[in-house]
Amino acid sequence: MILEQIISQKRHDLKTIKERRPLDSLLSSLKGMPPCRSLKAALRKQGRVSILAEIKKASPSKGMIRPDFNLEEITDDFTLSGVSAISVITEEKFFYGKPDYLQAVRSRTELPVLRKDFIIDPYQIYETRVLGGDALLLIVAVLNKYELVFFQKLASELNLECLVEVHNKEELQMALDSGASLIGINNRDLKTFEIDLNVTFNLRRYITDQSTVVVSESGISSRPQVDELYRNKIDAVLVGEVLMRSENIKAKVKELTGVY
C-alpha cells in the first residue's frame, strides 16, 4: 500500500537527516525564533468557511500537478487572494515537496503556515519550529495513542499547533481522546486514495465541543461544496489540487469563498 511505502521511506530518510544534522544542532537553532501565528484562530471565522490553501507540486495518485511550479508566486497569490492560512507539503519522494519550502513561504507571508508531512518522529516537530512553521499535521492513521498525545504535548511546548487528521470514527475518537481541538477530516482514504465528501458529513456530528475547529480535507473544488460544508458546521476547507491546477489562483479562491 502507498501509505506503508511512504512511511517506510520516511523512516529511512530520517536516519540520513539526523546524521546530517543531529538533534542537538537543531535545538540550538530554536533560540530567537519568532512567535508562532495561530492557525486555529485564523481558521475560525464567523459567517463563512475559511480557506486553508495548500502548496502541492505533485501527489502519488495524480502525479505532477503544477509543472510550472513557482513557490514565491504561489505564496504571493495565496496571500493576496484572502485565504486564511497556507499549508505546505514538505514530503520529498512522493509529493515533490521540500522542508525548505516551509521557511521560504514563512518569509513571504504573514499568514499562519502549516507543515503538511508524515510526522512520525519528535525530531520532525523540532525541525518544523526551526523551519518557521506555525503548525503541523498529525495523521492518526500512522500514529499510536501514545505518540498522538506526546507529539501534541511536545508541539505545544514549542508553541506549535497541531491539525490532527482523521478518516473514520475510530480515528476521530482517538483524536478527541487525545485532547485535539483542531481536527481535519480527510475525505481521501489514505490506503486507496478514493475520495468521498460524505466522510466529513458523517464524522462531523460526533464532534460536540463547540470550541473545536473542524477542517474538511480533500476533494473540494467548487463553491456549492463549500456552501454545503458550511451548512454542516465546517469551519475551514483545505484546498490544494484545484488551486494548483488553476491558471488564476486568486480568481479561483474568490470563486470558492464568494468574496470578490
Q: Is 217 a catalytic residue?
A: yes
Grid cell for residue 4: 506503508
When computed from its CA atoms, the radius of gyration of the chain, rounded to whole angstroms, is 17
Grid cell for residue 76: 504571493
Q: Which segments of the chain does DSSP mark as H helices, in order?
A: 2-20, 23-28, 39-43, 71-81, 99-106, 122-130, 145-157, 169-177, 198-204, 223-231, 241-244, 249-257
Q: Which of 186, 187, 216, 252 is catalytic?
A: 186
- Residue 45 pLDDT: 78
Q: Is 255 a catalytic residue?
A: no
- Residue 226 pLDDT: 95
Q: Is 19 a catalytic residue?
A: no
Q: Are 49 and 235 in contact (CB under 8 A)?
A: yes
Q: Is 171 a catalytic residue?
A: no
Q: Which of 40, 57, 116, 252 is catalytic?
A: 116
Q: Is 186 a catalytic residue?
A: yes
- Residue 259 pLDDT: 67
Q: Please state the φ and ψ torsions of residue 233, each to the nearest 5 degrees.
A: 65, 40
CATH class of 2-13+39-257: alpha beta
- Residue 192 pLDDT: 78
Query: pTM of the full predicted structure?
Result: 0.95
Q: Is 157 a catalytic residue?
A: no
Residues of the chain with pLDDT under 70: 259-260
- Residue 65 pLDDT: 93
Grid cell for residue 181: 481541538
Q: Which of 10, 50, 54, 187 is catalytic?
A: 54
The type of residue at 247 is E
Q: Which of 10, 40, 56, 57 is catalytic?
A: 56
Q: Is 232 a catalytic residue?
A: no
- Residue 260 pLDDT: 45
